[in-house]
Amino acid sequence: MRQHIPKLAALGLIGSALVFIQSPTYASGSNLIANPSVETASGGGPAGWASDSWGTNTTTFSYLTTGHTGTRSLKVETTAYSSGDAKWYGAAIPVTAGRTYQFSDWYQSSVATEVDVEVTMADGTLQYAAIASPATATGWTRALAQYSPPVGAKSIVPFHLLAVKGYLITDDFSLTEYSPTGFTRGLVSLTFDDGWRSHYTNARPLLNQYGMQGTFYALTSTTDYPDYLTVAQVQALAQDGNEIGSHTVDHAHLPTLTVQAVDRELADSQTAIRGWVGAAAAKNFASPYGEYDPSIVTEIGKYYRSHRTVDEGYNSRDNFDIWHIKVQNILNTTTPEQVGAWVDQALRDRTWLVLVYHEVDTGLADPTYSVTPADLSAELNLIKTKSATVLTLDRALDELQGQLN
């Protein structure tokens, strides 16, 4: 059984309704997926493919006699859902760390779905990454995403999966090596989510030591809580040259709210931050838990310049989407070596690498989405040693948007 938690569990991404459909970008090279159009049958199912579900749900799998092309496609339908996911998947595909791969398929669905990657490491352990979040599609639609395997990756299995009640039909899968169209230079942005007190006590001294500025996505209802930034600390971060972005008032699950409630979370947090540090602040937004859907993006666009996600990848000139800024997520298992490899790749390909940090501390009850001050220091030192240009998210947008024409 291929069992993992959809999305990034500690970020609250289970069953979230996210959107990720890029304008078509085509990669060169041969398709690495076997039986990609599932036309070849074996034993009543598609040769080289298997189906699986886990968790608490009622799911059926069908090998259809119609398709996007040819006469076959794959269907997953969940009629009752509490947890887990369901998917068809093919054989593991050998990959090389430091290269970029492009996944695509054609799909129809009654609900938002997601594309994840299961990574088998050289030591046999498994890692997972969310790389795409296709929206509902009543007609055949192409889902498209790029992915760069981490240091130590041996092989990957892409999943286009269903983690809610509804159906998903897929066909014409592809995985090819991909070369992005770069900007004039590679850039790095350091972003910090949730307004943790440790951003001030532990991250701020290190940023100042290495002469770097970051983007801090702050909450505005938590400033009296002992583990979170005070207003004075937010002001001090801004005075150091850091950008203060918005992460809503209450860290709400935005897709569960009415439009009016979403607007309050967006507008009130922006108003509060600008009252603290000035009208130039709170220009950019990161959605809590990484959750959003098309209506949320529409509302974000009424107030903010951009939307940063937690979907993994690099931002290049040919896949740039200001409402779907891709990132690399820092976990407590992320090594400085891995961060250095991400930086090397961004510099080589001239792409924009956005790093997402949460707590910067030790001794946490749940350290999964944290970094120790020692590792953060090592990572900033590597970035500096590699002569990477570090810009706040807003300053990076200023530079990159002028290159998109």
Q: Can you give the pLDDT at residue 132?
A: 84
Q: Which residue do the tokens 């959750």 mark?
A: 291
pTM: 0.87
Q: Can you give the pLDDT at residue 11?
A: 36
As a whole number of Å, the CA-based R_g of the chain is 21
The fold for domain 9-177 equals: Jelly Rolls (2.60.120)
- The answer to whether residues 118 and 128 touch, using CB atoms and an 8 Å cutoff, is yes
- For 68, 352, 390, the CA distances from 395, given in Å and listed in that order, are 42, 12, 9
**Residue 35 and residue 18: Cα distance in Å, rounded?**
28
The fold for domain 187-401 equals: TIM Barrel (3.20.20)
Q: Can you give the pLDDT at residue 12?
A: 34
Q: Give the burial string for 58-67 (b: 16+ CB within 10 Å, else e).
A: ebebebeeeb
**Which of these, 309, 338, 339, 337, lies nearest to 321 by C-alpha position?**
309
Domain ranges of the chain: 9-177, 187-401
Question: Mean pLDDT for each 10-residue chunk of the chain (405 residues)?
Answer: 43 32 49 97 96 97 98 98 97 94 97 94 93 91 94 96 97 96 98 98 98 98 97 98 98 95 98 97 96 92 97 93 95 96 97 98 96 98 98 98 89
- The answer to whether residues 309 and 292 touch, using CB atoms and an 8 Å cutoff, is yes
Burial class of residue 232 (count of CB atoms within 10 Å of its CB; 0-12, 13-18, 19+): exposed
